[in-house]
Structure formats: structure tokens, C-alpha cells
Amino acid sequence: MLAKASHLTLQWWMTLRLRQQAGSHRGSALTQRDNTMSLSPPIREEYEVELAPFTQEDLARETPLLQRIWQQSWVRKTVILIALALIWEIAARIQGNDLLLPSFIDTAKAFIDGIVTGELLAKVWISLTVLVKGYLIGIVLAFGMTTLAVSTQLGRDLLGTLTSMLNPLPAIALLPLSLLWFGLGENSLIFVLVHSVLWALALNTYAGFLGVSETQRMAGRNYGLKGIRFVWYILIPAALPSILAGLKIGWAFAWRTLIAAELVFGASSGKGGLGWYIFQNRNELYTDKVFAGLAAVIIIGLMVENLLFSNVERLTVKRWGMQR
């Protein structure tokens, strides 16, 4: 009884104060602060809100089949390729001179013919074996040079100077020189390939090594890693995105250089690769076979990119979260 009376008194007192306050609002703002400090906020009744019944049938909706097919990236890329093939076919028919521009169908026939007779595949194999040899030697040399650059001062200066001098030099310009030094055999091709791979890869690898975070380096030093082991266990995995970019660039340079060198170089020791196939068919005015050879170059480039490099990326840098 007493509690209720005091509660009511308190409420009357608060209402009185509020009215007073409302009146004094027209006064200065500075006085407001002392007034609110002693009041508690207005209390309202609890209430429950009635929810409307849930009537939506499915949270997941089936998109139409066509849209689902279009979402596949390979479908869109194939459509682009088909559109390009159609434009090519129409342009060739308008031109009407199949020695200058063979149609897509003629090229496809020459390509399939080359595969069936095994001629194109044999030439591709010869080109690829030379390429792989040059590429691997280039990779080994690039890593050797970069390791030296990372560990010693002279190595760093050597790498910087050599790369800036020799990177802009096109490998084809070195071909006559390498023919003089290494003769007409495979070795001159490998020399030119190594040159085209080495500088781009060394540059990318070195930039990658420089970008490795201090934390990771200190962790490596913590384990007592030094020299080659430091490079192998810490630097290379940490710099892998840059290294992979360097490998892709090096591969593209090497492939281009090899085809161009074979065009210039002619048959070496009786066997020629894909570039020689293109060159000879151009000489014999089989332009559809020339285009088939070019198509083979493009297809191999696509295959290496999509089968080799993207899988390496998927298994390493993408899995480790280093690259999106």
C-alpha cells in the first residue's frame, strides 16, 4: 500500500516536472542538460505483433533451360568462335580467291587431312620437343639467375643490367648469329628459345621474390633456412603468382619465336616443325594448308593455357587463396 502510494507520488512528481520542463523549453538550451539527467525514459506497454502467414511456395526457383545453358562460360565462348567462323566463311566466299583467303570449310578440311595423314601431328611433335627443351633450360637458368640476384649484391646488378639490355632484343634478330655459332642443327633453335624465355621469366620471378612479405621471410629465418633452401621453401611458394605469370609469358614468347624461327630457318637436319610446314605450304601455294598450320598453332596455345596452366593455378595459387 505504501509502495503503491509512493509510486503514484513519484508519477505525479514526474508529470509535474515534465510540464515544468515543457514550459521552460523556451528558455536557453544550456539548462536542458541538468534536467534530463534525473529523468528515466518513458515506459510503454509490451505488445506482440501478429505475423502474416508465410505463403511463398519455393525459395529456390528454376531458371529457364536457355538461361542455365547461357550461364556456362564454355557455351558463350563456343558461340563466339562459331560466329567468327561464320564471318570468316562469308568473307572468303565474297572474296572468291581461295589462294588468298581460303574459307573456313577448306581450312577445316586441310586441317583434318593433315591430322589423318599424320603429317601435321608429326610436325607439331617436332616443334613441341624442341620447345620443351628450350623452355626447361630457360626456366633452370632463370631460377639460377634470380637466386643469385636475391642472395648477392652483384647478382642483383647482373640481373638488372642483363635484363634491361637483352629483354628488348627480339630473339629472331639473334637467329643469324646463332646459325653461325651453332650451325644448322637444333642447337641454334634452342639457343634462340632460351633467350626468348629467360629474361621475361627472370624479371617476373625477381619481382615476385621482392614482393614476399617480411613476416614470411622472418618465419623462414626462424627455421634457420638460408640460401637455396630459403628460396625453395619460402620465396618460391610465396612468389608463385608472379612466377606463374612469368611462365605463361615465357611460354608465349617461346612458342612465337619457335614458329617464326622455323619459317626463317628452313629444314634443320631434314626434319622441320610447324613453322616449316607453314612456310613450305606457302611456297607451294597451298594456302588452305597454311591456314590449317596457323589454326594448329592457335589450338596448341589454347590447349596449353586451358589444360596446363589453369590446372596448375587451380592446384596451387587458387587453392591456397593467393589468387582469385
Partner 1 sequence: MGTSFKRPALTALAATLGLFGALLSSGAHAEGKISIAQQFGIGYLILDVVQQQKLIEKHGKEQGLDIKVDWNSISGATAMNEALLAGALDVVSAGVPPMLTIWDRTKGKQNVKAIASLGSMPNYLLSNKPDVKTIKDFTDKDRIAVPAAGVGFQSRTLQIETAKLFGNDNYKKFDNISVSLPHPDATSALIAGGSEISAHFSSPPFQYQELENPNVHKVLSSYDVLGGQATFNVLYTTQKFHDENPKTYKAFYDALAEAEKIIKADKNAAAKTYIEVEKSKLPLPLVEKIVNDPEIDFTVVPQRTFIYAEKLHEIGVLKNKADSWKDFFFEEAHGGAGS
Of these, 216, 282, 294, 323, which contacts partner 1 (CB under 8 A)?
282
Instruction: With CA atoms as reference, report the closest residue to 217 among 143, 151, 315, 148.
Output: 151
How many angstroms separate the CA atoms of 265 and 283, rounded? 14
Binding letters toward partner 1, positions 204-243, x by CB under 8 A: ----------------------------------------
Please say which residue, 146 or 280, places its beta carbon nearer to partner 1. 280
Query: Are the beta carbons of 311 and 296 closer than 8 angstroms?
Result: no
The footprint of partner 1 on residues 246-265 (CB under 8 A) is: none
Does residue 267 touch partner 1 according to CB under 8 A?
Answer: yes
**CA dihedral in degrees (12, 18, 20, 22; nearest 10)?**
-150
Residue 114: CB minimum distance to partner 1, A: 16
Does residue 266 touch partner 1 according to CB under 8 A?
Answer: yes
Total residues binding partner 1 (CB under 8 A): 16
* Amino acid, single-letter form, for residue 223: Y
Binding letters toward partner 1, positions 181-200, x by CB under 8 A: --xx----------------
Of these, 280, 290, 291, 293, which contacts partner 1 (CB under 8 A)?
280
For helices 119-151 and 274-283, give the axis angle rounded to 10 degrees. 130
Please say which residue, 282 or 318, places its beta carbon nearer to partner 1. 282
Residue 91: CB minimum distance to partner 1, A: 10
The footprint of partner 1 on residues 88-107 (CB under 8 A) is: 97-100
Please say which residue, 183 or 211, places its beta carbon nearer to partner 1. 183
Residue 144: CB minimum distance to partner 1, A: 32
Which range in 11-19, 63-71, 280-288, 316-324 contacts partner 1 by CB under 8 A?
280-288
Please say which residue, 189 or 239, places its beta carbon nearer to partner 1. 189
Residue 280: CB minimum distance to partner 1, A: 6
Does residue 284 touch partner 1 according to CB under 8 A?
Answer: yes
Residue 194: CB minimum distance to partner 1, A: 22
How many angstroms separate the CA atoms of 141 and 143, rounded? 5
Residue 65: CB minimum distance to partner 1, A: 36
Residue 265: CB minimum distance to partner 1, A: 9
Residue 257: CB minimum distance to partner 1, A: 19
Please say which residue, 286 or 309, places its beta carbon nearer to partner 1. 286
3-state secondary structure the chain: CHHHHHHHHHHHHHHHHHHHHHHHCCCCHHHHHHHHHCCCCCCCCCCCCCCCCCCCCCCCCCCCHHHHHHCCHHHHHHHHHHHHHHHHHHHHHHHCCCCCCCCHHHHHHHHHHHHHCCHHHHHHHHHHHHHHHHHHHHHHHHHHHHHHHHHCHHHHHHHHHHHHHHCCCCHHHHHHHHHHHHCCCHHHHHHHHHHHHHHHHHHHHHHHHHCCCHHHHHHHHHCCCCHHHHHHHHHHHHCHHHHHHHHHHHHHHHHHHHHHHHHHHCCECCECCHHHHHHHHHHCCCHHHHHHHHHHHHHHHHHHHHHHHHHHHHHCCCCCCCCC
Please say which residue, 107 or 280, places its beta carbon nearer to partner 1. 280
Which range in 76-84, 122-130, 230-238, 267-275 contacts partner 1 by CB under 8 A?
267-275
Place of cell 589444360: 307
**Residues binding partner 1 (CB under 8 A):** 97-100, 183-184, 266-267, 270-271, 280, 282-286
